[in-house]
Chains A and B, each alone.
Chain A
Amino acid sequence: GAVVSQHPSRVICKSGTSVKIECRSLDFQATTMFWYRQFPKQSLMLMATSNEGSKATYEQGVEKDKFLINHASLTLSTLTVTSAHPEDSSFYICSAHPLGQGAYEQYFGPGTRLTVT
Chain B
Amino acid sequence: AQSVTQLDSQVPVFEEAPVELRCNYSSSVSVYLFWYVQYPNQGLQLLLKYLSGSTLVKSINGFEAEFNKSQTSFHLRKPSVHISDTAEYFCAVSDRASGGSYIPTFGRGTSLIVHP
* Residue ranges of A at the interface with B (Cβ–Cβ < 8 Å): 4, 6, 34, 41-44, 46, 49, 91, 93, 95, 102-104, 106-111, 113
Contacts and interface: CB of A to CB of B under 8 A. Distances in A.
A34 B44 contact: no
Interface of B is mostly: loop
Interface stretch (B59-67, B73-81, B104-112): B104-112
Contact of B103 (A41, A49, A109): A49
B41 A44 contact: no
A42 B43 contact: no
Number of chain B interface residues as a range: 20 to 34
For the residues of A in contact with B, the DSSP-based class is strand
Contacts of A107: 46
B85 to A, nearest CB: 18
Given A42-B108, A43-B107, A43-B109, A111 B42 contact: yes
Contacts of B44: 44, 93, 95, 108
The 6 closest A-B pairs by CB, nearest first: A103-B102, A108-B43, A108-B44, A110-B43, A43-B106, A111-B43
